[in-house]
Structure 1
Amino acid sequence: MTAARLIELWRGGLRESSHLGHVVISDAEGVVEAWGNPGTVIFPRSSCKMIQALPLVESGAADAAGLGSEQLALACASHNGARAHVDRVSAWLSGLGLEEEDLRCGAHMPRDPAEHRRLLCSDTAPCQIHNNCSGKHAGFLTLKRHMKAGPEYVEIDHPVQRAVRRAFEEVTGETAAGWGIDGCAAPNFACTVEGLARAMASFARPGAGARGAAQRRLVEAMIAHPGLVAGEGRACTELMRAMKGRAAVKTGAEAVFVGIVPERGLGIALKVSDGGTRGAEAAITALMVHLGLLEEGHPVVGKYLTDPIRNWRGMATGEMRRASGFPN
């Protein structure tokens, strides 16, 4: 099966661009709906941070360190590097007796406009805590300390990453198809789109025991703190706020998006083949409308899917549309 046409850009009555990809909606029994090829192997990138955080919670490391829902949300986050994010990660590390230098994620300028401007105007270099993955890495450090393991926690054979791989393979129901190094230097394990959707369905309808309790806590943390999961102006944050606790969504680099819908026991995974964030954000928005989690007329649907595309003079020049048959 080939990729399905998901989202189209129209201008002057002509289709100018198309975003093709693969989408699976799954429940505990299997695939509910699909577009494209469910067996396409992908890197989930940051969309799977809740899976990477599972060992942190189910091992008891989170409770031993006294972590609350804010820290758990940050462990699942690709944050903007705003003060709300930086201050909380800094306090988390300090509470562990650790410092910024213990992180292994690297530094980049924050996406948050105010913090970006503050660093530029003060001629201050960003630190690793500004990295959008610093919450995930603080979680890795918490688990590393609990395990009494060595400092290089991003190495593929480190006990932290071995625990992450076990959790990943168990919830996807697949042996990892391979692994690559993510932007934050941590391993990222490959799976099929169907496997990723299956994993999200397990978070939507968790079972008993430590695994189920950990999944429930992580989803609840994401839903309770959408601003920590991403930040102002970001699709993850704005979509979760608009859905008022009915679902969690999480983006990943190269146009991956996942959704977790507890009230229906559904997990969603999508990958836009061209790697374009615009297409992935439009596609996940269309799916939330399709599932009845957002009203068609909600402003957030307009922002990511239905509002006219305007040029620098404010003129409507085009529009994005759902491709025929997506969603049904």
Structure 2
Amino acid sequence: MGEGMPTMLYDHGAVPICRAERGGRVESVHLGHAVVVGPDGVREAWGDPSAAIFPRSSCKMFQALPMLEAGLDPGPERLALACASHDGAAIHTGRVGAWMRDLGLSDDDFRCGAHEPKDRAARDALIRSGEGPRQVHNNCSGKHAGFLAMTKHLGAGPDYVDPGHPLQRAVRAAFEEVTGEESPGYGIDGCSAPNFVCTLEGLARGAMRFATAREGDARGRAMIAAREAMMRHPDLVAGEGRACTVLMRATSEPVALKTGAEGVFLAILPGRGLGVAVKAADGATRAAESAVAEILVRLGALDPAHPGARAFRDPVQRNWRGIETGRIAPAL
């Protein structure tokens, strides 16, 4: 853990954000926090927007800023992957692999570690080939390719995930500037990079700044490039059937969405100049997905009747025989 880590009681002041229903009764309730931030401050909040959280992968577009502000332009597809938690499908690993080759680097240069791809076809292909997963299959390999591009630009050492590395010092500075907060510390993420603590309101404030960015300076251009890449390539940001990809396709206006582990979700709404952040106190992904979809509906950016919205806002639950047993429902 990082220096000065505060006590992070996510259930303190938390409110119901999602419930599971069965047989016409409430079976489970997920507590959490959510906040909508505009240029004038907090527009609406549920629970405690000052709760300190690990943003996890929801802040990958923040982490890409040093690369972009240095003038490195990987192109929209690679930039979307730098902001992605991808499934390790061929459309993801093929592009990340090509990026690494263009950098003159190999899989061994990653510091994210290897895990099986979430994409079933890619996983089955590995099994049939008798090969094990490589680091390029890691859902964060696109972010790490971006890290390596910036590391090469800096002429810095190979251990780019070390919190004291010049790259991570630049990431922290950008993170604190965008959230408007001095981070009290960090934890090590699943991909081995430091993940800096912020408040939920700070995370939403950062999303709002991406939403309201203008072309006037390097930071504004970087923010616009990141959000546009995500909205242009939702299939690269996550994968087929995943909430980020499905909801970005379903919204009635351009919205950039990014999930994070342990029940975090972030939304950037450029047309409204708003940022949204959600944290499920128990870390439940289904709760964060339902809550962010509900907020998008409340803001008028998502039709609740759209199949993509129904898949995550209030999905029907079925058992192994296909019998409808209940549903997940938003509870904000």
Fold conserved (TM > 0.5)?
yes
Residue deviations 1:43-81 (CA, integer Å, cap 9, x gap):
000000000000010111x23xxx110011000000000
User: Aligned equivalents of 1:143 and 1:213: distance in 2?
Assistant: 17
Shift of residue 306, structure 1, vs aligned partner: 2.4
Answer yes or no: is 1:148 the counterpart of 2:148: no
**Does the 8 A contact of 1:223 with 1:245 survive in 2?**
no
Shift of residue 245, structure 1, vs aligned partner: 5.3
Answer yes or no: is 1:228 the counterpart of 2:236: yes
Q: Which runs of 5+ in 2 are unaligned?
A: 1-11
Tell me the matched-pair count.
320
Residue deviations 1:7-27 (CA, integer Å, cap 9, x gap):
111112221100110101001
**Does the 8 A contact of 1:80 with 1:230 survive in 2?**
yes
Counterparts of residues 93-112 of structure 1 (less than 5 Å): 93-112=100-119
Q: For 2:267, what is the secondary structure of its paired residue?
A: strand
**Does the 8 A contact of 2:253 with 2:301 survive in 1?**
no
**Does the 8 A contact of 2:250 with 2:309 survive in 1?**
no
Q: Which of residues 27, 30, 42 is equivalent to 1:31?
A: 42
The TM-score, its normalising length taken from structure 1, stands at: 0.96
User: Aligned equivalents of 2:41 and 2:290: distance in 1?
Assistant: 25
Structure 2 counterpart of 1:47? 58
Q: Which of residues 249, 254, 269 is equivalent to 1:261?
A: 269
**Does the 8 A contact of 1:11 with 1:317 survive in 2?**
yes
Counterparts of residues 51-66 of structure 1 (less than 5 Å): 51-60=62-71, 62-63=72-73
User: Aligned equivalents of 1:83 and 1:14: distance in 2?
Assistant: 42
Q: Which of residues 80, 86, 94 is equivalent to 2:87?
A: 80
Q: Which deviates the most, 5-14 or 263-272?
A: 5-14
User: Aligned equivalents of 1:57 and 1:306: distance in 2?
Assistant: 37
Q: For 1:145, what is the secondary structure of its paired residue?
A: helix
After TM superposition, the runs of 4+ consecutive aligned structure 1 residues lying more than 3 A away are none
User: Aligned equivalents of 2:219 and 2:98: distance in 1?
Assistant: 27
The letter of the residue matching 2:159 is E
Residue deviations 1:101-137 (CA, integer Å, cap 9, x gap):
1110000000001000001111110000000000000
Shift of residue 305, structure 1, vs aligned partner: 2.4
Structure 1 counterpart of 2:310? 302
Structure 1 counterpart of 2:178? 171
Residue deviations 1:247-276 (CA, integer Å, cap 9, x gap):
010000001000000000000011000101
The letter of the residue matching 2:296 is M
Q: Which deviates the most, 7-16 or 100-109?
A: 7-16
**Does the 8 A contact of 2:315 with 2:329 survive in 1?**
no
Structure 1 counterpart of 2:18? 7
Alpha-carbon RMSD across the aligned residues, in angstroms, is 1.0
Question: 1:244 and 1:136, CA in 2 relative to 1: closer, same or farther beyond 3 A?
Answer: farther
Structure 2 counterpart of 1:322? 330
Identity rate, percent: 56
Q: For 2:148, what is the secondary structure of its paired residue?
A: helix
Residue deviations 1:148-189 (CA, integer Å, cap 9, x gap):
111110000000000000000000000002100000000000
Q: For 2:304, what is the secondary structure of its paired residue?
A: coil
The TM-score, its normalising length taken from structure 2, stands at: 0.95
The letter of the residue matching 1:225 is H
Structure 2 counterpart of 1:241? 249
Q: For 1:306, what is the secondary structure of its paired residue?
A: coil
User: Aligned equivalents of 1:245 and 1:115: distance in 2?
Assistant: 32
Structure 2 counterpart of 1:17? 28
Q: For 1:86, what is the secondary structure of its paired residue?
A: helix
Q: Which runs of 5+ in 1 are unaligned?
A: none
**Does the 8 A contact of 2:34 with 2:278 survive in 1?**
yes
Q: Which of residues 281, 286, 309 is equivalent to 1:278?
A: 286
User: Aligned equivalents of 2:122 and 2:194: distance in 1?
Assistant: 28
Structure 1 counterpart of 2:298? 290
Question: 1:4 and 1:210, CA in 2 relative to 1: closer, same or farther beyond 3 A?
Answer: same
